[in-house]
Chains A and B, each alone.
Chain A
Amino acid sequence: MSILAYNGGAVVAMKGQDCVAIATDKRYGIQAQTVSTNFPKVFQMGPSLFVGLPGLATDTQTVFQRLKFRMNLYELKENRMMKPKTFSAMLSNLLYERRFGPYFIEPVIAGLDPYTNEPYVCNMDLIGCPNEPEDFVVSGTCSEQLYGMCEALWEPNLKPDELFETISQALVNAADRDAISGWGAVVYIVEKDKITEKHVKTRMD
């Protein structure tokens, strides 16, 4: 069995009009056994910067802690907030440092530039190859299903509430077609001065 599919999980992020959204399922399982239904894989790194870390759960926690370490030092030294693009570069570097013994996570980044408020999404593979598209990014054990859902539902310049509907439907329906993702979902809508956190009701199986 693939190590990236040991714990299961799914994360998706989308760009909207002057906003971004990022969503995660809440399942924590050990192969087929579901252990917890409160293990979201998305973490807030800054006032408008989120990172999703689906994959092996221990690496989810460790990479989050190490990212926080590097980000804290950056903000203290440079005395400014980190831009999402810079955060991407830093995460990519962190992962490539472990090129021959990698962290088993395939991260997703979503945020607004702290100075221009431009939306930004990015995903990368487990050794840090970044991908910065103009529309959406997906990751996790049901990434194929997520690609399908997003491609069908996404359109440019969605307003925040429309974006919420789109991303929720994409995540929920993709996770329902995956045995080891689901068991609850959290969606974050990130606008210029407002962050909305919504827990979406899903099939609990």
Chain B
Amino acid sequence: MARRYDTRTTIFSPEGRLYQVEYAMEAISHAGTSLGILATDGILLAAERRNTNKLLDEVFFSEKIYKLNDDMVCSVAGITSDANVLTNELRLIAQRYLLQYGESIPCEQLVSWLCDVKQAYTQYGGKRPFGVSILYMGWDKHYGYQLYQSDPSGNYGGWKATCIGNNSAAAVSSLKQEYKENETTLAEAQALAIKVLSKTLDMTKLTPEKVEMATLTRKNDKTVIRILTSTEVEKLIANFEKSEAEAEAAKKQAPKS
């Protein structure tokens, strides 16, 4: 039944669905996980790196995390080539705003603008939608730290913690339980991110090569964006494994008493 209505992106199905958009989201659900958490003193994005083939030449420093301007960073999940096009466009949008208004673009404006572009691909032109979901983290003087998510339909929302990509539903429910609004510091958020990632990753063991993490904070009236080094990621993973081991040991001891 769907066959007749999904060869063109710009047609509704009889049940009122846009199949191409849904197929795009399906593509993303098979891609590497990306999650974001808003903390009281900053924001972080963490992502699962899929291309860990030893033969891959290490050219760029980050596979899934892109800096957009001085105050915003994004992380992608989905088709990498589509993601490159969109992040390039995001950077251009941000610079054009800076040129026109002489100040940094507010976070929601940037997200909103790109989402209008994404929406156009679901309504005009006969082109397929972009197979990318994006998580944005940023700071602006209007609303402080913000975390946004956008998807191929051009829909976006502001979040306190969210996840996209493989096993994102499990990750989101895990975050829902563990995340404490207005009480989570950046350090706690980092630990939480590692915990959630370890559950969503296909492999059972987390290694620094498989994880990318970036944090955004404010210091001295300037935004500080940091991509964590593999040593720092390794330390976070080590701490996580230690607390897991302690929890296991505690469980084993408890029934005795």
Contacts and interface: CB of A to CB of B under 8 A. Distances in A.
Interface of A: 65-66, 68-69, 72-73, 76-77, 79
B224 interface: no
Contacts of B60: 79
Contact of A66 (B68, B92, B99, B102): B99
Contact of A76 (B67, B96, B99): B67
Interface string B115-141: 000000000000000000000000000
Nearest to A62: B99
Given A69-B98, A69-B99, A79 B61 contact: yes
A68 B103 CA distance: 12
Nearest to A71: B95
Nearest to B95: A69
B91 interface: yes
Given A73-B92, A77-B91, 12 more contacts: A65-B99, A65-B102, A68-B98, A68-B99, A69-B99, A72-B91, A72-B95, A73-B95, A76-B67, A76-B91, A77-B88, A79-B61
Contacts of B102: 65
Given A65-B99, A65-B102, A69-B95, A76 B68 contact: yes
B69 interface: yes
15 contacts: A65-B99, A66-B99, A68-B99, A69-B96, A69-B98, A72-B69, A72-B95, A72-B98, A73-B92, A76-B67, A76-B69, A76-B91, A77-B91, A79-B60, A79-B61
Contacts of A76: 67-69, 91
Interface of B: 60-61, 67-69, 88, 91-92, 95-96, 98-99, 102
B189 to A, nearest CB: 25
B29 to A, nearest CB: 29
Contacts of A73: 91-92, 95
B222 to A, nearest CB: 14
Nearest to B67: A76
A68 B67 CA distance: 16
Which residue, of B60, B68, B99, B102, has the highest number of chain A Cβ atoms within 10 A? B99
Nearest to B87: A76
A5 B107 CA distance: 42
Nearest to B96: A69
Nearest to A75: B67
Contacts of B61: 79
B74 to A, nearest CB: 12
A52 to B, nearest CB: 21
A66 B96 CA distance: 9
Nearest to B68: A76
A68 B98 CA distance: 9
B181 to A, nearest CB: 32
Contacts of A79: 60-61
- Best-buried of A72, A73, A76, A79 by chain B (most CB within 10 Å): A76
A51 B102 CA distance: 19
Contacts of B88: 77
Contacts of A66: 99
Nearest to A76: B91
Nearest to A66: B99
A73 B91 CA distance: 7
A80 B249 CA distance: 48
A73 B67 CA distance: 10
Nearest to B90: A76
Nearest to B100: A65
Nearest to A78: B60
Contacts of A77: 88, 91
Contacts of B96: 69
B190 to A, nearest CB: 24
A66 B100 CA distance: 10
A60 to B, nearest CB: 15
Contacts of A72: 69, 91, 95, 98
B73 to A, nearest CB: 11
A73 B95 CA distance: 8
A75 to B, nearest CB: 9
